[in-house]
Amino acid sequence: IEEVEALSSIYGDEWCVIDEASRIFCIQISNDIGDTKLTACLQVILPSDYPSSSPPIYQINASWLRGLQRVTLANSLEEIYVENVGESLLYLWVETIREFLREKSQSAGAEEESGGVNLTTEEDVDNDEENDDEELPDFRTVKMNTEYVHPFMNHESDGEVPPVKHGSIITDRRSTFQPHLAPVTEPGQVKMVLDKLYGNKKIASATHNIYAYRIFCEDRQSFLQDCEDDGETAAGGRLLHLLQILDVRNVMVVVSRWYGGILLGPDRFKHINNCARGVLVQEGYTSSAEEATTPGGKGKKTRSKKAK
């Protein structure tokens, strides 16, 4: 409570309480550098045992933050958590993200002065696709009936990297979508799969790598599940919702999108989910394409694949 009060006092209007009872907050962070202003929104859920035992569950929303840059920032936040286990760390996280924004602006500004690539600011990013008439999922309800877990925090795995399968490509107006699937039975494997995918230069260069996963814990009869938009607002929540509708388990789906310069509007969500359905059918997680496209269809529970 003291930490939240302090953050509210420090950041003023930048700090927003989404749901005080559920301990859900967000803060708008900017680099405060003149014409090269970049912003990011940090959304956090504070578990009941934070800060003594668990880190915050977080999501960073920023259209320009993609690929390896997102992984680099996530690793920085993880290091802060490891160095400050048991202590309040939201202020450190916020200022680390702010410094990351400053460094990005300064390095891009230097490239511009030397004749390199121009800086792409938050205002320059194509946001038209995010302004659809469709209602976006509520951040507070996307992960209901879930045991909260963050794959980058305190969940290492010593086993082999789960096998990754790649699905069929969908192309529309020069945008390309491709799904990837891996069996996962523990949160540490999620990070291993992401590291493996980002080791592929083509996948790492994608405009967005949206993912969702569901892990069934038989001993507690509950799910560990999470999702990530990677700059494609609301796409991760929609993908997780698809996995929930199909009732698939012990699986992770990543959909890569390479933006082709033409806005697709709501069609982009259709392509992302169709990609995901296709690879789930391909790998036997749901029995048929018809079942995978039927609202409320349960999908195939039995053949939950395990990492070797």
Q: Per residue in 238-264, pLDDT tens?
A: 899 899 888 899 999 999 999 888 888
DSSP H or E stretch at residue 212: strand 208-217
For residues 152-163, average pLDDT: 65
pLDDT of 283 higher than 50? yes
Rounded Cα–Cα distance for residues 24 and 20 (Å): 6
Which tokens belong to 97?
Answer: 């993200």
Residue pair 94/32 in contact (Cβ under 8 Å)? The answer is no
Q: What is the pLDDT of residue 139?
A: 39
Q: What is the pLDDT of residue 19?
A: 79
Rg from Cα positions in the chain: 19
The mean-pLDDT minimum among 56-65, 220-229, 275-284 falls in 56-65
How does residue 157 score in pLDDT terms, banded at 50, 70 and 90?
Answer: low
Q: What is the pLDDT of residue 197?
A: 93
Q: What is the pLDDT of residue 250?
A: 93
pLDDT of 208 higher than 70? yes
The mean-pLDDT minimum among 139-153, 158-172, 179-193 falls in 139-153
Give Cα 292 to chain centroid, integer Å.
23
Rounded Cα–Cα distance for residues 185 and 190 (Å): 9
The mean-pLDDT minimum among 55-69, 108-122, 198-212 falls in 108-122
11: left (phi over 0), alpha (psi -120 to 50) or beta: alpha
Residue pair 228/151 in contact (Cβ under 8 Å)? The answer is no
Higher local confidence (pLDDT), 277 or 145: 277
Rounded Cα–Cα distance for residues 38 and 122 (Å): 5
For residues 88-112, average pLDDT: 81
Give strand pairing partners of 45: 24, 57
- Give residue-wise pLDDT tens across range 120-148: 333 333 444 444 434 444 433 333 333 44
pLDDT cut 90: percent of the chain above it: 24
Alpha helices in the chain, H assignment, sequence order: 2-11, 67-83, 90-113, 187-198, 201-204, 235-246, 267-282, 289-292
Residue pair 231/65 in contact (Cβ under 8 Å)? The answer is yes
